[in-house]
Chains A and B, each alone.
Chain A
Amino acid sequence: MDTLILSRMQFAANISFHILFPTITIALGWVLLFFKLRFARTGDRKWMNLYMFWVKVFALSFALGVVSGITMSFQFGTNWPGFMETVGNVAGPLLAYEVLTAFFLEAVFLGIMLFGASRVPGWLHTLATFLVAFGTTMSAFWILVLNSWMHTPAGYELRDGIVFATDWWAIIFNPSMPYRLVHMLLASGLTVAFLIAGLSAYRMLRHDRDPAVATGLRVGLMIGAVLMPIQILAGDMHGLNTLEHQPQKVAAMEGNWETQGNVPLLLFALPDEAARENRFEIGIPSMASVILKHDPAGVVPGLNDFVAEDGTVMHPPVAPVFWSFRVMVATGMAMLVVAWAGMFLIWRRGVEALPRPYLMGVTAMTFAGWLATLAGWYTTEIGRQPWLVQGVLTTKQAVGDIAAGMVLSTLLAYLAIYVALLAAYVGVIFHLARKGGVLSAPVTSPGMQPAE
């Protein structure tokens, strides 16, 4: 294997591991603020217990997000020097603003949020919780601005092959940014919704009688039930935006080889890139045209339009994009069904009387958000290939000149650590859930006692 493919695998491993944790912290920060404010309003200790439980998960997720994020920022330099050398004038300020306006905010106030409750007045502790939530969201904003710009670059000019910024407004509000940002924030909300619901259901199955458990389950399912339809709408709009700016990606998502009308929506197919056709197609006639063009005869671009005269393929590998898109949609649909069924059951019987099979189903979906987020991330990122920055820089041009053996050895080391840490993370949060009942014992309430 050569340095390019190994570097790509290394970055894919790193970003796949990294994205799991911001996906949790972005929304969980706001949920923690909600718990804190509910406690301040009602004085009901179950809200404090919820805060105390989930702040531990937050701290753990945050630490994993930080350390894997640092790794990523170094990999730009170690593995992809061509990236900053070519687009550094745009990417640099965006990354710098992320660190300056978001990263420090989160990191400093996290200390106060976690350990400062008995040292600062209640309002300052609540403010710290808010600033951490705000910081993680700002972080997501800047990173998605940069990521979107790489998909739909705007506001720049090329001089001798180097990108120079001409219009920062256009760079920040590039054509795909609003869609991508909304889609990602909602994905974070849904991931957290199912994480909270899943662990709460697990605790209910274990007969944990803490009132915080039932409340957690209800809050989680309600967030899921409200956000999922919005996510479907946002996803659809994001898809139409992609069709406009990256038609080759949509063609791969649909497994559509020829530009034509009446394109079916494929439910199953095995795209074969060598033969440039699909095997075992099962589809709904004309449905893809209806979804993408709102017209059964609507012409949808095909992959064959993105092969140059000399045979150079300028569209992404089809099968991974096609399948990861389907995994994302299917997971989302399952989340919709489970969340709405839960709302219905709670409405009819109350949260305490949810049937065991349903609770087991929710527990099984604890990490459904991760699955959907990863699948969506692969759809959009593999779908960008062979470009790193659409129309400006290919992935191949950006890779550094490092011995393949070095990349391979570090890749294996990272993989070993990531697998071990992921297992430890899942193990520890279920361990926390198992001893969660301990938290229902009387606790001193963060931020509710006078400062020293």
Chain B
Amino acid sequence: MGMFDPEVLPLIFAALMGVSILLYVVLDGFDLGVGLLFPFADEAERDRMVASIGPFWDANETWLVLAIGLLLVAFPVAHGDILTALYLPVAVMLIGLILRGVAFEFRAKAPLGHKRPWDVAFWSGSLMTALSQGFMLGMYVMGLEWTWAKVGFAALTAGALAVAYSFIGAAWVILKTDGVLQRKAVDWAKGGIWGVVLGMGAVSAATPLVSQRIFDKWFSFPEVVALAPLPLMSGLLVALLWLALRRLPTANDSFAWFPFAGATVLMVLGFFGMAYSFYPYIVPERLTIWEAAASTESLSIILVGTLFVLPVIMGYTVLAYFIFRGKATKLSYD
């Protein structure tokens, strides 16, 4: 019966999970990035940067909850494998998320003079979160095995993702501010773009080397031709971003949107590359999405709700971003 076919259902859920992760990386990516850039800003600039993410960060983080929720519910056999293998980086990430999430609220309400420690907590929490997520990405690409070489690779992707997040964070600041802060953000973005290049390059180079299967998927004919646009478009986009950053900010603030849009498209391209490489596995080379899927009845129950609810969520999320469009002003409850 079509969509509720036991063959198709796990595929739909893998796609839903992928979309959640992608939305998370873009959305929480920029607010994590803003946190990472804290040490480079003075106090007034930090206030303004926090104001630019204030209405959004909570909802952004929810995509991670949905992604992990879908992993738990749709692929119960895989989640144990993945999460127990990543026990320590998950713990580091959670502590980071706790620190930055509360620091954000506390810094606005704490007694005068207590702001600075909360700023440090916000920055270090963002850093712990970004590094551990990058580390997990690296470990996943390496097949979730703890050897020195693989941990070393994961350390590389950890750094790269943190820098990449600060790139998209800087792109967000370019979009949401003006004046001196905007000019600063352009400089930050110029540094941060190397994290994107390094991270995407490292993952793209390492993945086919780790797995013969993935190597064959990419480098056999005619796939190699069909897939060529993916790296080519990424390269072109990076070049365009670089050109744009050299000209930004413009006098009438035109193209302030471009770095953020470009970063988003880059992440989408990278995501499709990853998805193509690992399909149909959910635990690399060990467990396919069909082997890991929950029962058809339970998946159907969730899918019915998801199909009704997800468009509504998307709708009011867009509404929230629309309401808070334009340059960020002082964060105020008034």
Cα A55 to Cα B88 with chains together (Å): 36
Number of A-B contacts (CB under 8 A): 214
Given the complex, which residues of B lie within 8 Å of A56, measured CB to CB? 109, 333
Q: Is the CB of A78 within 8 A of B97?
A: no
Given the complex, which residues of A lie within 8 Å of B106, measured CB to CB? 60, 424, 428
Which of the segments A22-30, A88-96, A296-304, A355-363 contacts the partner chain? A88-96
Q: Identify B334's interface contact among A73, A108, A444, CB under 8 A.
A: A444
B14-50 interface bits toward A, Cβ cutoff 8 Å, 1 = contact, 0 = none: 0000000000000000000000000000000000000
Cα A52 to Cα B87 with chains together (Å): 41
A186-223 interface bits toward B, Cβ cutoff 8 Å, 1 = contact, 0 = none: 00000000000000000000000000000000000000
Tell me which residues from 88 to 118 in chain A have a Cβ below 8 Å from any Cβ of chain B.
88-93, 95-97, 99-101, 103-105, 107-112, 114-118
Given the complex, which residues of A lie within 8 Å of B102, measured CB to CB? 60, 63-64, 67, 421, 424
**Given contacts A111-B324, A114-B54, A444-B334, is CB(A95)–CB(B94) below 8 Å?**
no
Tell me the smallest distance from the CB of B267 to a CB of chain A, in Å.
21
**Given contacts A56-B333, A60-B106, is CB(A92)–CB(B55) below 8 Å?**
no
Cα A112 to Cα B320 with chains together (Å): 7
B67-110 interface bits toward A, Cβ cutoff 8 Å, 1 = contact, 0 = none: 01111111011011011101110110011011101101110011
B250 within 8 Å of A (CB atoms): no
B119 within 8 Å of A (CB atoms): no
**Given contacts A115-B54, A417-B95, is CB(A96)–CB(B80) below 8 Å?**
no
**Given contacts A67-B98, A81-B83, A443-B334, is CB(A99)–CB(B69) below 8 Å?**
yes
B293-327 interface bits toward A, Cβ cutoff 8 Å, 1 = contact, 0 = none: 01101100110011001100100110010011000
B279 within 8 Å of A (CB atoms): no
Cα A62 to Cα B104 with chains together (Å): 12
Given the complex, which residues of A lie within 8 Å of B99, measured CB to CB? 417
Q: Is the interface of A mostly helix, strand, loop or mixed?
A: helix
**Given contacts A116-B324, A119-B323, A164-B295, is CB(A111)–CB(B69) below 8 Å?**
no
Q: Is the CB of A92 within 8 A of B76?
A: yes
**Given contacts A107-B61, A108-B59, is CB(A78)–CB(B84) below 8 Å?**
yes
Q: Is the CB of A417 within 8 A of B98?
A: yes
A231-269 interface bits toward B, Cβ cutoff 8 Å, 1 = contact, 0 = none: 000000000000000000000000000000000000000
Q: Is the CB of A63 within 8 A of B80?
A: no
Cα A67 to Cα B91 with chains together (Å): 13
Q: Identify B324's interface contact among A67, A95, A101, A115, CB under 8 A.
A: A115
Tell me the smallest distance from the CB of A383 to a CB of chain B, in Å.
26
A270 within 8 Å of B (CB atoms): no
B64 within 8 Å of A (CB atoms): yes
Q: How large is the interface on B (under 10, 10 to 19, 20 to 34, 35 or more residues)?
A: 35 or more
Q: Is the CB of A446 within 8 A of B310?
A: no
Q: How large is the interface on A (under 10, 10 to 19, 20 to 34, 35 or more residues)?
A: 35 or more
Q: Is the CB of A107 within 8 A of B59?
A: yes
Which of the segments A319-327, A338-346, A399-407 contacts the partner chain? A399-407
Q: Is the CB of A74 within 8 A of B94?
A: yes
B331 within 8 Å of A (CB atoms): yes
A76 within 8 Å of B (CB atoms): yes
Q: Identify A63's interface contact among B55, B58, B59, B76, CB under 8 A.
A: B58
A77 within 8 Å of B (CB atoms): yes
A39-74 interface bits toward B, Cβ cutoff 8 Å, 1 = contact, 0 = none: 000000000000010011001101110111111011
Q: Identify A165's interface contact among B68, B80, B297, B331, CB under 8 A.
A: B297
Q: A78-B84, A116-B323, A432-B109 are in contact. List 5 more A-B contacts (CB 8 A).
A: A68-B98, A69-B65, A100-B310, A119-B323, A165-B301
